Amino acid sequence: MLVSPGRASAADCPSSPSTQTGASAQIDHAPTLSLDTVTWALNQRGSPLSAADARFIVQASQQTSIDDAFALAVWAAESQDGREAVPGTHNIGNITAASGVAWADHIFAIYPTWRAGIAAWFQLIGQLYIRGGHAQNLLTFALFYVHGLTPAQASPQMQRVVESGYVHTLTSIIAELQQHEAALHPGQSVPGAGNETPPTAAPTTLFSLLPTGPLPPGWAGPGTWPAASAIRFSGCGTSSVPPLVLAAFQLGVYLRPNAAGLFDHWVLGAPEGVRSQGSITWDTDFLASVVEQTTGTTFPLYTTAASWWTGSLSQQLGWSRISAGSRQMPRAGDIAILSDGASGAVALIVGVQPPQAHQPGVVLVMQGHAPHVLERWALVSDGTVLPPWPFQTVTLGYLRPPAGTQ
């Protein structure tokens, strides 16, 4: 490679490679691997990358529409996913540059962190290879990536050497990764593994909304990251995400735990106007803040979560009430209301995987005054959610905002 790019830019709605770039679906494609498989692959090769770096890889893959299976295969071939990178460079893909560290008769670019090196690699592939016409297939990519040659410039012998060497390595690694993914998620197709026509636009996953910076321990509950990788919205870009969901993620990063581990107060720097009662941010305070940030109107004061269901809240805001157990599935943007024999609890549903056959579904929720801001709940076939709490609750139902607010 001859170019050392800067930071990666994320397109909200990637164009179809079949109509715009002619790039292979093995390269120009939304991520085909979940966070679980990415983490497994890094661990298999003794990579120095962290769990946060693994999340960043899947997020960057989603944002740039460059398949994470392809990325991991290249990095494994180049640096064993960073384990054998040129010392002091954080250069996971062995990007060469005009200045940097001299190593093995080349000069390799230096990046301050692994994420900076990853972002630079994704940007390089998008700009120079996909849009530059060097990603029509793995052979075209490998010839230019390794030797700086196009197929027209490479001799037949050179092409055979690259095909049987570098391309075979990439193909084998991609197949191994996708086999592991298929074993983790049986019954799901693996897009990008063949020559199928890629989608015209990569849908937004819930994972792409998750914060990439450091979070307090316990902020996200067990199983939330893999579930977020699998939950997709119908369109592409954040315009397809319900406004309440976006607001919840924007505010949720400001919640911090107390000594008992409950996320019940705002950290210094939280947006003005967020609610709390004294020094405590209850579940109702968090959701009222989310609604107010979204609509710009004052949320009616209700003292308990249970009163959100029994009172006239839905009539005041123009929301509809969906009773639990009615076989109506909740949607992202709905507020789940639960009774616990006392004040009750509320949580915003930010993502839904409906039940399949005899398998329960999954909802991801965001909440305040709880052990986890982001939590995974089960969803059964009658539309009832089941929180993983040690005490008994009854799901009363869901408040569904008017169109445009949900």
Q: Number of folded domains in the chain? A: 2
- CA end-to-end span of the chain: 46
| pLDDT given at position 80 | 94
| pLDDT given at position 94 | 93
pLDDT, mean of residues 324-333: 88
| pLDDT given at position 199 | 40
| pLDDT given at position 312 | 66
Tell me the C-alpha distance between 375 and 273, whole Å. 25
Does 190 reside within a domain? no
Q: Which of 151, 184, 217 is the last residue of a domain?
A: 184
pLDDT greater than 90 at residue 186: no
Of 32-41, 81-90, 186-195, 382-391, minimum mean pLDDT range:
186-195
Whole-prediction pTM value?
A: 0.55
pLDDT greater than 90 at residue 350: yes
**Do 51 and 179 fall into the same domain?**
yes
pLDDT, mean of residues 59-71: 91
Calculate what percentage of the chain has a pLDDT beyond 90.
41
Q: Each residue of 97-141: pLDDT tens digit?
A: 888 899 888 899 999 999 999 998 998 998 889 888 889 899 999
pLDDT greater than 90 at residue 387: yes
| pLDDT given at position 190 | 46
Q: Are strands 320-323 and 361-366 parallel, antiparallel or unpaired?
A: unpaired
**Do 154 and 211 fall into the same domain?**
no
Query: Between residues 305 and 398, which one has the greater pLDDT?
Result: 398
Q: Each residue of 221-256: pLDDT tens digit?
A: 988 877 887 787 765 555 578 899 989 998 999 999
Does 3 reside within a domain? no
| pLDDT given at position 2 | 32
Q: Each residue of 133-170: pLDDT tens digit?
A: 889 899 999 999 999 898 889 898 899 899 989 999 99
**Do 178 and 235 fall into the same domain?**
no
SS3 string, the chain, reads CCCCCCCCCCCCCCCCHHHHCCCCCCCCCCCCCCHHHHHHHHHHCCCCCCHHHHHHHHHHHHHHCCCHHHHHHHHHHHHCCCCCCCCCCCCCCCCEEEEEEEECCEEECCCCCHHHHHHHHHHHHHHHHHCCCCCCCHHHHHHHHHHCCCCCCCCHHHHHHHHHHHHHHHHHHHHHHHHHHHHHCCCCCCCCCCCCCCCCCCCCEHHHHCCCCCCCCCCECCCHHHHHHHCECCCCCHHHCCHHHHHHHHHHCCEEECCCCCEEEECCCCCCCCCCECCECCHHHHHHHHHHHHHCCCCCCCCCCCHHHHCCHHHHHCCEEEECCCCCCCCCCCEEEEECCCCCEEEEEEEEECCECCECEEEEEECCCCCCCEEEEEECCCCCEECCCCCCCEEEEEEECCCCCC
**Do 120 and 238 fall into the same domain?**
no
Of 5-9, 41-45, 224-228, minimum mean pLDDT range:
5-9
**Do 178 and 232 fall into the same domain?**
no
- The pLDDT confidence band at residue 17, using thresholds 50, 70 and 90, is very low
Token digits of residue 305: 């979560």
**Do 94 and 46 fall into the same domain?**
yes
Q: Which residues contact 43 (CB under 8 A, 6 or more apart)?
A: none
**Do 238 and 295 fall into the same domain?**
yes
Residue range of the domain that includes 389: 206-400
Q: What is the mean pLDDT of the chain?
A: 83
**Do 136 and 277 fall into the same domain?**
no
pLDDT greater than 90 at residue 3: no
**Do 213 and 255 fall into the same domain?**
yes
Does 193 reside within a domain? no
**Do 150 and 264 fall into the same domain?**
no
Does 198 reside within a domain? no
Q: Each residue of 267-280: pLDDT tens digit?
A: 988 888 899 998 89
| pLDDT given at position 4 | 29
Does 5 reside within a domain? no
pLDDT greater than 70 at residue 189: no
Does 387 reside within a domain? yes
Q: Each residue of 296-328: pLDDT tens digit?
A: 878 777 668 878 887 766 566 678 888 888 888
| pLDDT given at position 404 | 52
Q: Which pairs with CB-CB distance under 8 Å and at least 24 residues apart come from 292-298?
A: 293/247, 293/250, 293/251, 294/243, 294/244, 294/246, 294/247, 294/405, 295/405
Write the CATH number for 345. 3.90.1720
**Do 218 and 180 fall into the same domain?**
no
| pLDDT given at position 258 | 95
Does 192 reside within a domain? no
Q: Each residue of 193-222: pLDDT tens digit?
A: 443 344 444 456 787 777 766 788 899 998
For residues 283 and 346, the answer to whether their CB atoms sit within 8 Å is yes
For residues 212 and 64, the answer to whether their CB atoms sit within 8 Å is no
| Helix 68-79 and helix 51-64, axial crossing angle in degrees, nearest 10 | 130
Does 279 reside within a domain? yes
Tell me the C-alpha distance between 168 and 16, whole Å. 26
| pLDDT given at position 309 | 82
For residues 302 and 308, the answer to whether their CB atoms sit within 8 Å is yes
**Do 302 and 178 fall into the same domain?**
no
